[in-house]
């Protein structure tokens, strides 16, 4: 998956991952989490996979989806597994006066010291521009029962 045919410049593969193996680098916002949990429950499906670092299982994008599924009794989640060290993946910090690097993201997750919600904004480099990392998260429409 992730070939140049679909204009995605990074390699990734979608795998079903155990939620218990994942390591968050950000906390979630309780209001956004409740809203998303209710939406996923109502839909009966998870529409898009999350993005994780294949090597460390650190969540790059999708913290709210992970927590929503956990609250819904799911144990698995579809994930786009990427090499986070790839130079085509970039990161912007949303915190004032604090520069967050990829190393700090991994360190926060592995040390169980997550940043505040929405502290980071991950992107992929496309030609002369950038797109949010969700650009690689194509719809999977996975039934919740499959994820229990």
Query: Which band of pLDDT confidence, cut at 50, 70 and 90, is reported for residue 6?
Result: low
Domain map (residue ranges) of the chain: 4-142
45-80 residues labelled b (16+ CB within 10 A) or e (exposed):
ebebbbbbbbeebbbbbbbbbbbbbbeeebebbbbb
Q: Number of helices and strands (H, E) in the chain?
A: 3, 9
Residue 147 is predicted with a pLDDT of 98
Residue 25: helix, strand or coil by DSSP?
A: coil
Q: What is the mean pLDDT of residues 134-143?
A: 95
Phi-psi group of 49: left, alpha or beta (phi > 0 → left; psi -120 to 50 → alpha; rest → beta): beta
Residues 122, 10: contact at Cβ < 8 Å?
no
Alpha-carbon span 14 to 18, nearest angstrom: 13
Query: Which band of pLDDT confidence, cut at 50, 70 and 90, is reported for residue 5?
Result: very low
For the domain bounded by 4-142, which CATH number is listed?
3.90.1530.10
Q: What is the mean pLDDT of residues 55-75?
A: 98
The 10s digit of each residue's pLDDT in 77-134 is 999 999 999 999 999 998 878 889 999 999 999 999 999 999 999 999 988 899 999 9
The 10s digit of each residue's pLDDT in 27-56 is 999 999 999 999 999 999 999 999 999 999
Residue 7 is predicted with a pLDDT of 66
Residue 2 is predicted with a pLDDT of 40
Q: Is residue 1 predicted with pLDDT exceeding 50?
A: no
């Amino acid at each position: 998956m992730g070939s140049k045919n679909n204009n995605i410049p990074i390699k990734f593969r979608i795998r079903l991952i155990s939620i218990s193996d994942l390591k968050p680098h950000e906390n979630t916002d309780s209001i956004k989490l409740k809203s998303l949990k209710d939406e996923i429950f109502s839909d009966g499906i998870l529409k898009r996979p999350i993005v994780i670092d294949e090597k460390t299982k650190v969540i790059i994008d999708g913290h709210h989806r992970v927590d929503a599924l956990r609250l819904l009794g799911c144990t698995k989640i579809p994930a786009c597994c990427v090499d986070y060290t790839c130079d085509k993946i970039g990161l912007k910090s949303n915190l004032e006066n604090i520069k967050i690097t990829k190393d700090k993201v991994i360190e926060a997750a592995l040390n169980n010291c997550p940043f505040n919600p929405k502290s980071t904004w991950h992107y992929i480099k496309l030609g002369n521009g950038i797109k949010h990392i969700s650009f690689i998260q194509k719809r999977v429409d996975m039934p919740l029962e499959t994820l229990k």
